[in-house]
Amino acid sequence: MTILQANKIHKTYGNKFNKHEVLKGLDLSIERGEFVSIMGPSGSGKTTLLNVLSSIDRVTRGTINIEDHEITAMKEKKLAEFRKHHLGFIFQEYNLLDTLTAKENILLPLSIANVSKKEATIRFDRLAKELGIYEVKDKYPNELSGGQKQRTSAVRAFIHEPSIIFADEPTGALDSKSASDLLDKLSDLNDKLSATIVMVTHDMTAASFSNRVIFIQDGQIYTQLTKGEQSRQDFYKDIMKTQGVLGGVQQ
C-alpha cells in the first residue's frame, strides 16, 4: 500500500532574474513499511527532496500525498498539526535539548500529543530497551556518547508512532561502530513495527541496510535498486557499482 506519493515535484530557489531549479518534475512513491535510502552526488537535490517530502520546505510545483493527505495544499497551521501526529525526524546533529534528560527529550512529542502517562511509559520502556538506551535514560545529552545521543533521537522519532520517519544523514556524525549499531536498530524497528523510513545518506554502508535505494542526479531520479532476497553484502556491492557509474558520491 502506498503511503507517500509525490507527483511532478519541482523546487526552484532564487528570483526571476536568478533561478536555480533543484528538483525537476520528480515522481516518487513509497510503500508502507519500506526502508528507503536516497543517495546522489553533492548538489543532486537529495536533501532538498527529503525536505519537501517531510514538509520542512515547500515545493514550487507538484503534489505530495502522505496517508491520502495532500500536504502541499495544507496551510501552515494544519500542516504543523499533521507533522506532529504523522511524521518523525532523525537529524545528523541529534537536536536534543541540553536541559532535559534523555527520557524527557524522548517524551516531548507525546506531551504535545496529549498521550496518557501510562501509555507514554509503555512506549518509552519498549523503545528505549529496543534501542539500548534504557540504562542512560536519566542522563543529560552532554553525558551521552554520540551513538547514545543518536539512538535517543531515534527513539524520540518513533515514540509517537508516526506514519513515516525521515532521517537526514543520521550516521554522519558517528563512528563506524555507532553507525552500524544505529542502523541495525532502525532495521529491526522497520521489521518489527513495519515502520516506514526514508533516509538521505552519502554512505554506501548505511544505504545497504535499507530495502530500496533511490539515486538522484540533477534533480531527477537516475535509477533505483531493490534489495529483494540479497544479502546486505551483495546489496552493498550493487550500490557501489551503481554509485561508480553515477560518480561524484563520496563514502
How far apart, in whole angstroms, are the C-alpha atoms of residue 17 and residue 128?
51
DSSP for 141-205 reads GGGS-HHHHHHHHHHHHHTT--SEEEEESTTTTS-HHHHHHHHHHHHHHHHHH--EEEEE-S-HH
Element (H, E) at 46: helix 46-53
Could you list the residue range(s) of the whole structural domain that residue 40 is in? 2-247
Kindly report the average pLDDT of the chain as a whole number: 92
Tell me the per-residue pLDDT of 189-222, one tens digit each, with 9 for 90 and over: 898 888 999 999 999 999 999 999 999 999 999 9
pLDDT of residue 249: 43
- pTM recorded for the entire structure: 0.91
Tell me the per-residue pLDDT of 40-74, one tens digit each, with 9 for 90 and over: 988 899 999 999 999 999 999 999 999 999 999 99
How far apart, in whole angstroms, are the C-alpha atoms of residue 193 and residue 187?
10
**SS3 label, residue 119:** helix
Supply the CATH number for residue 10's domain.
3.40.50.300
Tell me the per-residue pLDDT of 71-126, one tens digit each, with 9 for 90 and over: 999 999 999 999 988 999 998 888 899 999 999 999 988 887 778 889 999 999 99
pLDDT of residue 34: 96
Q: Bridge-partner residues for 76, per DSSP?
A: none
The domain total for the chain is: 1
Identify residue 35 by its one-letter amino acid code: F
- Using 50, 70 and 90 to split pLDDT, how confident is the model at 224? very high
